[in-house]
Amino acid sequence: MILIGIDPAFRENGFAVCTILCTKKEVRFEIMKDFKDFLNFANFLHHAYSRQELFICVENSNLQKASFDTTGSKLVVARKSRNVGMNQAVSQIVVDTLIAGNYKVKEVSPLAKGTKWDHKTTQAIMDQEKYLVINYKGLKTEQDKRDAFKLALLNLKFV
């Protein structure tokens, strides 16, 4: 069984993918810059794994219709609004692309995903499960990878 968590974002290095190869107890992380573009990412999924054993959980921010933080100047609010809209769009595009490709996809809202895990929590789970972890250093800047890891594990609720 292969569990994939996808935390899409439109900002640079914000699109993170976590792949857990259950039989090998291996966790791999990629960010969008590891792929040439979105089509290269979709092609990677298509050719990398057997669909029968592939389960994908995507954070789809388009599912959450609540208003975002509207504090700040007009320019700040406009920037926040633009960023939220871009993330909602890329999230929905990822989900739609995977569904069109007949993947087993579970989409969750940011609220349903729950609280963000810090490095300590993430590392404790990785150690407890004795995962061999590739491309994760636990840096503060790797929150998107932690979110993708949490999403990959959420698949276990839906399998």
Q: Give residue-wise pLDDT tens across range 78-116.
A: 777 777 778 888 899 999 999 988 888 999 999 999 999
The rounded distance, in Å, linking the Cα atoms of 98 and 104 is: 8
pLDDT grade, residue 68 (50/70/90)? Answer: low
Residue 115 is predicted with a pLDDT of: 94
Range of the domain at 55: 2-158
The rounded distance, in Å, linking the Cα atoms of 76 and 123 is: 35
Residue 81 is predicted with a pLDDT of: 74
HSE of 74 in the Cβ direction (CA atoms, 13 Å)?
A: 0
**Model-wide pTM > 0.85:** yes
Check pLDDT > 90 for residue 50: no
pLDDT grade, residue 143 (50/70/90)? Answer: very high
Q: Which of 37-51, 90-104, 123-137 has the highest mean pLDDT?
A: 123-137
CATH number at residue 115: 3.30.420
Residue 65 is predicted with a pLDDT of: 74
Check pLDDT > 80 for residue 146: yes
Q: How many structural domains compose the chain? A: 1
